[in-house]
Structure 1
Amino acid sequence: MAQVTVTLDANLAIDVMMLSGTRNPQDAVELVLRDYLARGRRTGTRTGEAADGDRLTAERPAAQEG
Structure 2
Amino acid sequence: MAKVTVSLDAELVVEAMVLAGVGSPQDAVELIVRDYVERGHRTEARVATRDEALHRADLKPRDVEG
Number of positions where the alignment pairs a residue of Structure 1 with one of Structure 2: 61
- Unpaired runs of 5+ in structure 1? 56-60
Q: Identity of aligned pairs, percent?
A: 54
Q: What secondary structure is seen at the aligned counterpart in 2 of 1:12?
A: helix
- Higher helix share goes to which structure? 2
Length-normalised TM-score, structure 2: 0.76
- Unpaired runs of 5+ in structure 2? 56-60
Q: 1:65 offset after TM fit, Å?
A: 1.6
Q: Where does structure 1 differ by over 3 angstroms across 4 or more consecutive aligned residues?
A: none
Length-normalised TM-score, structure 1: 0.76
Amino acid at match of 1:36: Y
